[in-house]
Amino acid sequence: DPSYLQMAQEYIKKSLSCLTKRSITFLCGDAGPLAMAAVVYHKLHNDKQAEDCIARLLHLPKPDPRIPDEMLYGRMGYLSALLFVNKHFGEEKISQNHIQQVCEAVMASGENLAQKRNFTAKSPLMYEWYQEYYVGAAHGLAGIYYYLLQPGLGVSQAKLHNMVKPSVDYICQLKFVSGNYPPCIGDNRDLLVHWCHGAPGVIYMLLQAYKVFGEQKYFSDALQCADVIWQWGLLKKGYGLCHGTAGNAYAFLALYNLTQDMKYLYRACKFAEWCLSYGQHGCRTPDTPFSLFEGMAGTIYFLADLLIPTKARFPAFEL
């Protein structure tokens, strides 16, 4: 329905009029609106404006060593915007050379910090955020390694095996007996089961490592993550993607898409039922209650994705 693209264009115009010029990432910075605008204009066959957005996107990063590497505010969040554009254009609109330059900056940053903080023997790559070695997907190691394992970044086989794989293995060693993961290296409290901190974010790194290296241990750890989420993943923090129930439920969809095991589609549907009884669980109201990562927009996004495999299995299914 082209009316949705027209509506998206109106939102995009508002976003482009108030770029912050402070952050370069997809989720929290200027790269998100620019990448989204490029795709929307492309689908509306407005090639001139799409090319203008891509040009502005390419000129965002500066050679500034103070830029972090994590996903929400750092280089990895910028790389995710570049991959988003190439995926939706169906071609290499962002050159592989540009992507590899940013990727190499991330690798060099991780290698330098590992050497500086004496991590190299345990983990050849190390990253920090506000003087903490975060483990999870949002600000931490799992989110960075997940992207470094993506074939679209073009990390060489030598670096994948000699630097990324041992770093992934180091995270695996941090696993609690429960199957969950700590928010930071050195934090022994087994408390958080969020996409941003805990098993619901680490599972994506594990599944990608399994796809790249083919080792059963990564898949086994991912299954343990899913069990952690099933046991403790209904959150009073809300219904969003970052630290809410809808974000946790995405792990079940990831496993279902990989295995076609109906157990994980069932679990995703049960979490969806919980989300659909909105307001009945005593959850707190987030700071941005209608947003994608904290609020109801995240729930709707998850429900829309859930319908695709569920409708394929059960054509009469209604949500």
Residues annotated as binding site for Zn(2+)?
196, 242-243
Buried b (16+ CB within 10 A) or exposed e, 102-133: bbebbbebbbebbeeeebbeebbbbbbbeeeb
Residue ranges of the annotated binding site are: 196, 242-243
Beta-carbon count within 10 A of 295 CB: 22
Q: How far, in Å, are 37, 144, 170, 184 from residue 126 at the CA level?
A: 33, 10, 10, 12
Q: Among 210, 298, 313, 206, which Cα is nearest to 262's?
A: 313
Chain center to CA of 251: 11
CA distance 46 to 42: 6
Sign of the C-alpha dihedral computed for residues 41, 29, 60 and 144 taken in this order: negative
Residue 215, classed as helix, strand or coil, is coil
CA distance 12 to 139: 26
- The DSSP H or E segment spanning 105 is helix 96-116
Residue count of the chain, please give it: 319
CA distance 281 to 259: 31
CA distance 35 to 57: 7
Q: For residue 184, list its beta bridge partners.
A: 134
Q: What are 33's two structure tokens?
A: 């609106």
Angle 38-239-293 from CA coordinates, rounded to 5°: 30
Q: Among 182, 160, 186, which Cα is nearest to 172's?
A: 182
